[in-house]
Amino acid sequence: MNCPICGGKTVGKVGIGQYFCWNCFIEYQVQGDNVKIFSVEEDGTLIAYDAAGI
């Protein structure tokens, strides 16, 4: 699976339908055709990106 942001292949699986990209340091969830993108804060908190802001 490639990262939806950078297209890189250095993606690891974190959970069911959850992945982390080591190129751009984002986490994302895949649910069917929907992809939700998150930034990971220093404390591990996930902050959702607004789809319009990407």
Confidence (pLDDT) at 4: 92
Q: In this structure, what token pair is assigned to residue 48?
A: 């959702």
Pairing mode, if any, of strands 46-48 and 11-15?
A: unpaired
CB 44 within 8 A of CB 34: no
Confidence (pLDDT) at 45: 92
Confidence (pLDDT) at 51: 54
Confidence (pLDDT) at 49: 87
Q: Could you report the per-residue pLDDT of 1-54, keeping only the tens digit for each?
A: 899 999 999 999 999 999 999 999 999 999 999 999 999 999 989 999 875 455
Taking CA atoms, 22 is separated from 1, 9, 33, 41, 46, in Å, by: 13, 9, 22, 14, 15
Confidence (pLDDT) at 46: 92
Return the number of other C-beta atoms located less than 10 Å from residue 26's C-beta: 20
Residue with tokens 């929907």: 34
Confidence (pLDDT) at 50: 73
